[in-house]
Amino acid sequence: MSNDLARYDDPASLSTDVPPHAPGRHASGQHASAGAGPAAGRAGGGLFDPGQLLASFPDAVRKLDPRLMARSPVMFVVLVGSVLTTVFAVMDPGNWFGWAIAAWLWLTTLFANLAEAVAEGRGKAQADSLRKARTGTVARRLTGTDEERVPGTDLRVGDLVVCEAGDIVPGDGDVVEGVASVDESAITGESAPVIRESGGDRSAVTGGTKVLSDRIVIRITTKPGETFIDRMIGLVEGAARQRTPNEIALNILLASLTVVFLLAVVTLQPFAVHAGAEQSVIVLTALLVCLIPTTIGALLSAIGIAGMDRLVQRNVLAMSGRAVEAAGDVSTLLLDKTGTITLGNRQAAGFTPVPGVTEAALADAARLSSLADETPEGRSVVALARERYGLREQHEGDLAHAEWVVFTARTRMSGVDVGGRSVRKGASASVTAWVRERGGTVPPDAQVLTDRIAQAGGTPLLVALEDAEGARVLGVVHLKDVVKDGMRERFEELRRMGIRTVMITGDNPLTAKAIADEAGVDDFLAEATPEDKMALIKREQAGGRLVAMTGDGTNDAPALAQADVGVAMNTGTSAAKEAGNMVDLDSDPTKLIEIVGIGKQLLITRGALTTFSIANDVAKYFAIIPAMFAVVYPGLDKLNIMGLASPESAILSAVVFNALIIIAMVPLALRGVRYRPMSADRMLRRNLGLYGLGGLVAPFVGIKLIDLLISTIPGIG
């Protein structure tokens, strides 16, 4: 985020009391979505909703393409085994056992594909709604001083286009001239219009949105087919999802285990022949499929897709799965103070003059210097002076020749030069330097007042005047900000998660410390500049920590690009959205805390199901190995601790369970394992107990129940 005293862009508190002569005057409304984006409005039944399963089934069948199956080594082996057992079943059509094994191996493959198809299908409804917004439009492109109408697909990066009330924005870009009200409901789901204007952090517009009022000139920043909506469609459908490093590493581990078990099963046949218990290819294939980690192999892709889908449901778009995983490993969280930790709309609460100056004189000077300040804080100073002292704006003639000093991030102050007087109001350091440059002095009382306000958690703004008597400080304006309810508890929760929180603010160190202590953050960075943020991120990363931050302005772009998880606000500039690897459609900075939780949930879900998958293979040893060799080695019958009815029933029961457990685990893969803040060792013990022990016990129970059912079928038991 930009500095607190360098970004005043909350239009909710913009007063209409600013006189028409003040620069940059405009009316505006605020986008205050509460997660009502396209995902929020998506109706979805339960996982086993017949309509959803039916819609996903054709995709599951199409995924049987060997070229697609080869992406998962585990499931590719199952596919080859399905084909192999089918061939041998056809060669011996009277062998019911061969047909049963072949059928259940095909179901195992199909269930794995169905899990991925259902996960992908959860985003298709949203993609369909986004496609409706991606309509072909005619753009009014500027060529010099003339306009020409061209198809939106002909626009190129750098083109300037004009949009007026009723026009559809033809492509992604930044407003370079004018201010307008824009309907972004097609993107965010929020019906309230938002203000887009040139020269600020709220200049980005998205293709497919509608201009409701006024006239703006837009500079196109993306090529046709690469717009924000196009990327959203690809992301929510899963088409643009790339495998993450952790996912790739786990795939390599699963492939390695598959190779190990394949070699073990292949070398088992010579020993079986030597023992006089030669095994059929169908039995060996069933053994291989049951021993390799098919459960996690089948669900791995669905877990990743579901993790990104959970973000989409909260109106956050992750530009890569790597960002979601990184969010789960974040150890340092950089949070802007204003609007994130505090309510953000700091309001003027009082005027405290230095000795020898009346409060009314201070209020009048503060009001005059704030007429050029378009920030909510500046507007609140004007409003307080009017309400408390009845001060009104001068007539147009009084300020006709005024030279306005507009608030900027560099100067950090605003003011006006008029009638031989110069008035300034702003950050203490900036105004103090301004007074001293003009030969004036700052009385010690001014420093005492600023320290007192800062220690109370407020923000002091110095007001100074230069006239015939010289430059001098008149007093201090007290700005108040309020820490949001529940922030201390949320930071305590993050602390239990092992995450260090750092508050970033443009306030002076005393103010920053007061707010940090009240909110309960671990550290703070005061009077922060874009360079300071970048340096802080690099220091944290040099210590081996992953860093997450939010931002919305062009000056946030370098830090967003440097951070491991950079969440750009949708209301921000195109530069910020391009630099970040996530975009929050609701533009809610506090959502970064939720994103971290979702990332951790993804990693925990993957780890829990991997543990479960490997553990549940143990029971299959006790089912299949005795069935294969108990005839020649009667002593192995002691390993038949489940008391399975027959060798055929035992092997078939293991294969059936292997298939059914996949479909049974799909809801958990899509919903995710619930994350609870706790220490790493405690979490490890909990997951090993629940999913390790559970994965060990469940197959014994499941295989036994299936065996009891199968043994009741005539000719099998």
Q: Is 591 annotated as a binding residue?
A: no
Task: Enumerate residues 6+ apart whose C-beta is below 8 A from 256.
Answer: none
CA distance 471 to 441: 7
Residue 357 has which token pair?
Answer: 């100056």
Single-letter amino acid code for the residue at 186 = A
Lateral strand order in the sheet of 421-427: 347-353, 470-480, 459-467, 421-427, 413-418, 403-405
Q: Is 586 annotated as a binding residue?
A: no
Q: Is 183 annotated as a binding residue?
A: no
Closest CA to 401 of 417, 414, 425: 417
Report CA 605 to chain centroid distance, whole Å.
18
DSSP 22-65: STT----------S-STTTT-----TT-HHHHHHHHHHHHHTT-
Q: Is 410 annotated as a binding residue?
A: yes
Q: Active-site residue numbers? A: 336
Residue 293 has which token pair?
Answer: 């980690």
Provide the β-strand partners of residue 111.
Answer: none
Q: Is 414 annotated as a binding residue?
A: yes
The CA-based angle 253-258-259, given to 5 degrees, is 100
CB burial of residue 65 (10 Å; 0-12, 13-18, 19+) = exposed
The runs of H, that is alpha helices, within 292-342 are 294-313, 321-328
Residue 697 has which token pair?
Answer: 């016990």
SS3 track for 486-550: CHHHHHHHHHHCCCEEEEECCCCHHHHHHHHHHHCCCEEECCCCHHHHHHHHHHHHHCCCCEEEE
Element spanning 627, H or E: helix 618-629
The runs of H, that is alpha helices, within 371-459 are 376-389, 428-437, 444-455
In the block, which residue shows the tokens 């953050």? 521
Q: Is 377 annotated as a binding residue?
A: yes
Q: Is 413 annotated as a binding residue?
A: yes
Q: Is 185 annotated as a binding residue?
A: no
* Helix, coil or strand: residue 239: coil
Task: Enumerate residues 6+ apart whose C-beta is below 8 A from 189.
Answer: 33, 36, 37, 38, 39, 40, 41, 315, 585
* Helix, coil or strand: residue 344: coil
- For 545-575, letters b (16+ CB in 10 Å) and e give bbbbbbbbbbbbbbbbbbbbbbbbbbbbbbb
Closest CA to 531 of 502, 497, 556, 501: 556
Closest CA to 326 of 559, 603, 586: 603
CA distance 433 to 449: 17
First to last CA, the chain: 69
Beta carbons within 10 angstroms of residue 142's beta carbon: 17
Q: Is 556 annotated as a binding residue?
A: yes
CA distance 545 to 538: 10
The CA-based angle 140-143-147, given to 5 degrees, is 35
Q: Max alpha carbon distance in the chain (Å)?
A: 114
Beta carbons within 10 angstroms of residue 709's beta carbon: 12
Residue 92 has which token pair?
Answer: 């011996």
Element spanning 335, H or E: strand 332-336
* Residue 475 and residue 360 in contact, taking contact as beta carbons nearer than 8 Å: no
In the block, which residue shows the tokens 């500049």? 529
Single-letter amino acid code for the residue at 365 = A
Closest CA to 250 of 293, 213, 282: 293
Q: Is 6 annotated as a binding residue?
A: no
Q: Is 425 annotated as a binding residue?
A: yes
* Residue 506 and residue 6 in contact, taking contact as beta carbons nearer than 8 Å: yes
**Which residues belong to the annotated binding site for Mg(2+)?**
552, 556
Query: Which residues participate in the annotated binding site?
Result: 373, 377, 407-414, 425, 552, 556
Q: Which residues are annotated as a binding site for ATP?
A: 373, 377, 407-414, 425
